[in-house]
Amino acid sequence: MTNETTAAAKKDSPQPEGGKKFSRLKEVCKKSYVGWLFTLPMTLGLLIFTFYPMIQSLVYAFAEYDGVEHFELIGLGNFIRMFTVDRREVFKTLGNTFLYSIISVPLTLVLSYMLALLVNKKIAGVGVFRVLYYLPVVIPSVVSGLLWKGIYDPTYGLGNSILNAFGLPSSQFFEAEESALASYIFMNVFGVGGSMILWLSALKNVPPELYEAATIDGANGAVKLFCVTIPLSTSMIFYNLITGIIGSLQTFNTYVIAANEGRGPGDSLYFFAVKIYNTAFSGMRFEYGYASALAWVLFIIVGVLTIFIFRTSKWVYYGEES
């Protein structure tokens, strides 16, 4: 029997299931190894700086750990403490966080959408306005917080000067419990330029033929907005809603602008993410284990809300189904 006959016989003979899978995997790797090499930096970054810390924090969540030498597994002790001994502070921070999200997310969505409609007009110099509206997004959050802290200074800040110029009474802004949250929400409104860019991309994708057909049918501007523009922007509304909720639940900037370790007067700005940071890094004792448990509770809350929004997203239009 010749060598060619032997090779043909080996090729035609049935291979074990494991051998088939290995050969298939080998063939896939051989074809796509260049792609894997290009994605290797991102893959390593995700594994080292995302997945490994997540697994590590999950272990810490079931332990008492000070970040140095003391490490002791305590089971559900951190979670029991969260809803027993520490429940008042936990519920306070959750209440502040949800209140901020309920007000901030819809306000940001509406204002950024209206701003996008404004700068989507074909008028002279509209590009300059787009740049100006987007500039606050470029400023780092810490720097922005320090700037607003100066603006909101009750004595020397520009905020009270503007209020007095319009005949309004002066405000204590971050110094008073009744005005701290409203001042913080107003501060974050100036970051709507980031969402504006996304809205613009959605508005540019609306087919002009639909507006022409609506005009022929006698539709005015309001009818075009509510019957053409908004329905065709629902996919971007959905995206901005998801990212807005996730971002608002993780809000943290109060640590820069508010007194009392970011808690604000009367804990009015004490958000859940700020509590996680204070638990892990503030005080005489670092409680990495308890902070990790708090972080995983926040992760579960974000995950549940995200799943709920996905399950109720039948109102989103993704285009004509093939």
Query: Domain holding 194: CATH number?
Result: 1.10.3720.10
Is residue 19's pLDDT more than 80?
no
Domain tally for the chain? 2
Q: Which amino acid is at 267?
A: D
Task: List, for residues 311-321, the tens digit of each pLDDT value.
Answer: 998 888 876 65
Instruction: Calculate what percentage of the chain has a pLDDT beyond 70.
Output: 91
3-state DSSP assignment of residue 120: coil
Q: Can you tell me the distance from the alpha carbon of 209 to that of 72, in angstroms, rounded to the nearest whole number?
A: 66
Whether residues 35 and 129 share a domain: the answer is: no
Lookup result for tokens 């285009």: 319
Q: What is the pTM of this model?
A: 0.84
Label residues 251-267 b or e (16+ Cβ within 10 Å = b).
Answer: bebbbebbeebbbbbeb
Whether residues 105 and 49 share a domain: the answer is: no
Task: List, for residues 209-256, the tens digit of each pLDDT value.
Answer: 888 888 888 888 888 888 888 888 898 999 999 999 999 999 888 877
In a domain, 5, yes or no: no
Domain of residue 25 covers 15-78
Distances 260 to 97, 263, 267, 268, 275 between C-alpha atoms, Å: 17, 5, 8, 11, 12
Residue finishing a domain among 53, 78, 103:
78
What's residue 21's pLDDT? 63
Whether residues 73 and 119 share a domain: the answer is: no
Task: List, for residues 104-120, the tens digit of each pLDDT value.
Answer: 999 999 999 998 888 88
Whether residues 151 and 21 share a domain: the answer is: no
